[in-house]
Structure 1
Amino acid sequence: MTRKPQQRGLGRGLSALIGDDSAPAEAEKAGGGAAVQTAPIEMIRANPDQPRRDFREEDLAELAASIREKGVIQPLVVRTDPKKEGGWQIVAGERRWRAAQRAQLHELPIVVRELSDDEALEVAIIENIQRADLNPVEEALGYRQLMDKFGHTQEKLAEAMGKSRSHIANALRLLTLPESVVEHLRAGRLSAGHARALITSPDPAALAEQVIARGLSVRQTEALARAQKVEANTPKKPKKPEKDADTRALEADLAAATGVKVAIEHRNDGAGEVRLRYGSLEELDSICSILSR
C-alpha cells in the first residue's frame, strides 16, 4: 500500500529547523544553543539530493574572491553524513562551500543540526527558494518537490514563502512546457515572462525558437502566441484535390482554343463543370463566337 506524503506545516520555517545562520552569534543561539565550530573542508560534502544544480561560475568566482579577503562569515548548516563516518553533509550553504574550495580554504565554520533525510531535503529546498537567486526552472522544481514529497499545497507554500498563490501556480506551469523550452529558460535565453506567454501557444517549442532568433519582447511574444492560438482554432477550408495531368492538359487545350483561362472541376460522381474566365467584353464576344460555330 502506498503511503501518502505526510503533510507538515511549513509555518515553523527555516528558523525552527536550522536556526538563522545569518551570523555566528545568532547561529549559536538558535536551536537550543548549538555552537559554531570548524570542520576540515575535505570532510564536508554536498547533499546528493540538493535541488539546485546550476551554479554560475562568475558568481562562484566573485564569492571566492570575497572569501579570500574576508573568509566565510556565514557558517554552513550541516548534519552528520549518513554515508561517511566522521563527515558532514551540507544542509544549507553549498554555494559557500564551492566558493571556499576555489579560494583554497582548509576549514569552514559549521553549525550542526540533527535532521532526518526528509527534513534535510525540505530545508535545502526552502533555503534555496528563499535565499538564492534561482532561475525560474529551479524555483518551480523546488515547489514541485515540496508538493510531491511532503504533500504541501499551493496555499501552504504561498503562505510559508511569502508569495502569492498565483506566483506559485505560474511557476509550476512553467514545468508543463516542452523540454527544449525549459532548457532555454534554464539557460537564461528566455525569461519567465516569455515562458508564461509560450504556454498558451499551440507550438511552444517552435515559437520559442522564433522569439530567441528575433529578440522579441514579452508583449510581442504574448501577441504572437494569441495570434497562433486564434489561427489554430479557426476552421480551415478543406484543400481541393490536385488535378491529374489529363485534366490539366485538357484545360490548356481549351484555353488555347478559346484564348481565355479555362478551369475544369471534375467530381467523383463523374459530373463536373467547365469555367471560362474573360477579362473584357471583347473576350466574351470571342468566346460566344467560338461556341456558336
Structure 2
Amino acid sequence: MSEDKGRQRLGRGLASLIGGSASSAVPSRAATPFPLPGAARVEEPGERKLAVSELSPNPRNPRRHFDETDLAELTASIRQHGVVQPILVRKTASGAFEIVAGERRWRAAQEAGLKQVPVVVREISDRESLEIAIIENVQRADLDPIEEAMGYQMLIDEHEYTQSDLADILGKSRSHVANTLRLLKLPDSVKEMVAKGELSAGAARTAVSQDDPEAFARQIVDGGLSVREAETLARGEPLPEPAPPRGSAQKRRTPPAPPSVAEVRESDTQALEKLLSDTLGLPVAIELRGEGGSLRLDFRHLDQLDHLCRLLQTRVSAESAEPRIRSL
C-alpha cells in the first residue's frame, strides 16, 4: 500500500465512522467526563441506550492497564453527571455489542451503578475497530510507553502505516513515534520496568544499544539516575563525583539534574491542554513554535460550537448574545 493510499484511508476512514477530522475523530479523555457549565446534554445522531451488561470490551484493545485513581475520579463524575460522551460500539456477527471506543467510560459506569449507557452503533470492520482502538488510546496520552509502542507497531504491521502516517494522525512528532518504537527492542524484563513506571521511557532508550540492556537498566534504577545521567553513562563517560554532605564524611550521590527546558515545556503544555479540555469540554491541542504557537479546538457538530461561542461571549459581555453559527 502506498503512503498516499494510507493517508487517504486515515483521512476518510475514521472521519466517516465517528465524524469530524481524522485527527479529532476520537474524543480525548479530558473531553469526556464533564459537560460545559449549565449546558444541556446534546444527543449524538444515531445515539441510543443499551444495558451495560449488553456491551463487551474490544479483545484487541492495546490498553491493558486502567489506573485505579483515574477510574475512581471518572466514576465519581459519571455518578454525578452521567456518561456525557456516548460509547462507540459495533454489532458483531454473533449479535453482541463490542466496544470500539469508550471502554474506560463503560467500566466507570458499572462502578457508578448505572444500568444503561448512551451508545452510538456503527458498522465497523475488524481492521477499522483495531485502528480506532489504538488511535483513541494513544491520543489520550495515558497509555504506558510500552502499550503505546505496541499500538504503533500493530498499525504498522497489520495495516502498512508509515511512521509519517502515525505522526500526522496522532498529532505527534515523527521523532516521538520513532523513539517510542525503539522501546520494543528492549528485553521483556526491561519493558516490564517501563510499564511499571520504575524506568522512564527516556532512560530506557539509552539501554537499547547496550550489550546487556537489562543490567544497564537495573543500574539506572538502582542508582536513581536521571535521563541525562543515563545518557552520560551510555556514552561510557564517568558520572560527576558526588559531593559529601555537610558535617559528614560519607558521600552521597549528586541529586538528579533538573529536567531540560524542552521537557518542562512539554509537560506544561500537556497540563494546559488537559485544563482547557476539562473547562471547555472539547479536545484541545497546543503547538508551540518559539515564543508563539497555535491553539486548536476540535468540535464534532455545530451544537458544540454553539456552546463554545456562548461560553466565550459570556466572558466578555454581561449580556449573552445568541451565536449565529448556523447562519454562517
- TM over 0.5, shorter chain: yes
Alignment coverage as a number of residue pairs? 218
Pairwise CA distance, 1:132 = 4.4
* 1:15 corresponds to: 15
Q: Deviations over 1:215-271 (max 9, x none)?
A: 11111111111118xxxxxxxxxxxxxxxxxxxxxxxxxxxxxxxxxxxxxxxxxxx
SS in structure 1 of the partner of residue 78 of structure 2: helix
Pairwise CA distance, 1:131 = 2.5
Cα distance in 2 between the residues matched to 1:151 and 1:170: 19
Match of 1:205 among 201, 214, 221: 214
Pairwise CA distance, 1:148 = 0.5
| Correspondence 1:146-185 to 2 at 5 A | 146-185=155-194
Are residues 1:119 and 2:119 paired?
A: no
Alignment CA distance shift 1:160-1:54 (3 Å): same
Cα distance in 2 between the residues matched to 1:73 and 1:153: 34
SS in structure 2 of the partner of residue 12 of structure 1: helix
Structure 1 length normalisation: TM-score? 0.69
User: Could you tell me whether the CA contact under 8 Å between 1:21 and 1:74 is conserved in 2?
Assistant: no
* 2:236 corresponds to: 227
Are residues 1:55 and 2:44 paired?
A: no
Cα distance in 2 between the residues matched to 1:11 and 1:91: 18
Cα distance in 1 between the residues matched to 2:212 and 2:130: 35
Match of 1:78 among 68, 86, 89: 89
Greater RCO (CA < 8 Å, at least 6 residues apart):
2
Pairwise CA distance, 1:209 = 1.1
Cα distance in 2 between the residues matched to 1:79 and 1:36: 12
* 1:128 corresponds to: 137
Of the structure 1 ranges 207-216 and 103-112, higher mean CA displacement relative to structure 2 is found in: 207-216
Runs of at least 5 residues in structure 1 that lack an aligned partner in the other structure: 29-33, 229-293
User: Could you tell me whether the CA contact under 8 Å between 1:200 and 1:226 is conserved in 2?
Assistant: no
User: Could you tell me whether the CA contact under 8 Å between 1:14 and 1:127 is conserved in 2?
Assistant: no
Point out the structure with max Rg over C-alpha. Answer: 1
Pairwise CA distance, 1:96 = 0.6
Q: Deviations over 1:20-69 (max 9, x none)?
A: 575864x72xxxxx321110000011011111111111211111111111
Match of 1:97 among 106, 120, 124: 106
Pairwise CA distance, 1:12 = 3.0
Alignment CA distance shift 1:146-1:21 (3 Å): closer
* 2:50 corresponds to: 39
Cα distance in 2 between the residues matched to 1:202 and 1:21: 41
2:12 counterpart letter in structure 1: R
1:123 counterpart letter in structure 2: I
Cα distance in 2 between the residues matched to 1:140 and 1:149: 14
Cα distance in 1 between the residues matched to 2:75 and 2:99: 18
* 2:326 corresponds to: none
Pairwise CA distance, 1:170 = 0.8
1:134 counterpart letter in structure 2: L
Pairwise CA distance, 1:202 = 2.0
Are residues 1:188 and 2:197 paired?
A: yes
Pairwise CA distance, 1:174 = 0.5
1:158 counterpart letter in structure 2: A
Cα distance in 1 between the residues matched to 2:59 and 2:83: 23
1:168 counterpart letter in structure 2: V
Q: Deviations over 1:153-210 (max 9, x none)?
A: 1122122222222111111111001111101101111111111111232211011112
User: Could you tell me whether the CA contact under 8 Å between 1:21 and 1:75 is conserved in 2?
Assistant: no
SS in structure 1 of the partner of residue 206 of structure 2: helix
Pairwise CA distance, 1:13 = 6.2
Pairwise CA distance, 1:95 = 0.6
Cα distance in 2 between the residues matched to 1:21 and 1:72: 16
Of the structure 1 ranges 41-50 and 131-140, higher mean CA displacement relative to structure 2 is found in: 131-140
Cα distance in 1 between the residues matched to 2:170 and 2:147: 15
1:15 counterpart letter in structure 2: A
Cα distance in 2 between the residues matched to 1:13 and 1:139: 21
User: Could you tell me whether the CA contact under 8 Å between 1:13 and 1:160 is conserved in 2?
Assistant: no
2:17 counterpart letter in structure 1: L
SS in structure 2 of the partner of residue 11 of structure 1: helix
Runs of at least 5 residues in structure 2 that lack an aligned partner in the other structure: 20-24, 33-40, 238-328
* 2:267 corresponds to: none
